[in-house]
């Protein structure tokens, strides 16, 4: 529910800023560019909503460094999930949501970034932007956790899977552009 409210609120802000931009005369775009811009920003707002919300308010919380969980070992949690699957079938759903979710999460990024670019982009640039975006999310999640307003864990696996998803999105973009 919080995500829907957040997306609705950010959509209103986007539309209002675009209206003011057009009134001032510095926002001239054709409708195809306008729709592309809208889809891109809705994706960004959704990405923020999925990765950084909900935010919890804990009265009297005293943050400590021991409250922060950071996984810097590649594929550690993925291996752990698959080990736990043998013990409890519940972890199948958790593992699939984590792996597939992180792949799918950045696929639109890998597709929309080169589509919105003024000149052709190489896959290395798209992957670098995916890395930067994913790293930013992980840092913000760590800050949220330290402040006691978030429950997520910073994980190198998320960055790796997000970059792979962005690469898949870029391949889809290239296939789309050939048509």
**Mean pLDDT value across residues 91-103:** 86
Write down the pLDDT at residue 57: 73
Question: Is the pLDDT score of 119 beyond 60?
Answer: yes
20: in domain? yes
Question: Is the pLDDT score of 24 beyond 90?
Answer: no
User: What is the domain extent for residue 112?
Assistant: 70-179
Same domain flag for 130 and 76: yes
Question: Is the pLDDT score of 27 beyond 60?
Answer: no
Q: Which segments within the chain are labelled E, that is strand?
A: 70-71, 154-155
**Mean pLDDT value across residues 47-65:** 79
Structural domains in the chain (count): 2
Q: How confident is the model at residue 170 (pLDDT cuts 50, 70, 90)?
A: very high
Rounded to whole angstroms, the Cα distance separating 17 from 86 reads 52
Question: Is the pLDDT score of 91 beyond 60?
Answer: yes
Same domain flag for 136 and 81: yes
Radius of gyration of the chain (CA): 19
pTM: 0.84
Nearest to 42 by CA among 138, 141, 111, 108: 108
Same domain flag for 106 and 171: yes
Task: Identify the DSSP state of 73.
Answer: S
65: in domain? no
């Amino acid at each position: 529910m919080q995500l829907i409210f957040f997306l609705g609120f950010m959509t209103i802000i986007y539309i209002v800023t675009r209206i003011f931009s057009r009134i001032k005369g510095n926002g001239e775009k054709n409708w195809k560019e306008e729709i592309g811009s809208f889809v891109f920003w809705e994706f960004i707002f959704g990405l923020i909503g999925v990765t950084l919300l909900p935010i919890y308010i804990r009265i009297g919380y005293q943050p400590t460094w021991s409250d922060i969980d950071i996984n810097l070992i590649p594929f550690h949690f993925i291996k752990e999930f698959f080990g736990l699957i043998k013990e409890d079938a519940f972890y199948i759903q958790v593992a699939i949501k984590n792996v597939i979710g992180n792949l799918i999460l950045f696929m639109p990024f890998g597709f929309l970034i080169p589509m919105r670019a003024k000149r052709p982009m190489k896959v290395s640039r798209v992957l670098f932007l995916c890395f930067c975006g994913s790293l930013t999310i992980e840092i913000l999640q760590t800050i949220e956790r330290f402040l006691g307003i978030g429950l997520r864990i910073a994980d190198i696996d998320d960055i790796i899977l997000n970059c792979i998803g962005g690469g898949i999105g870029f391949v889809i973009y290239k296939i789309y552009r050939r048509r």
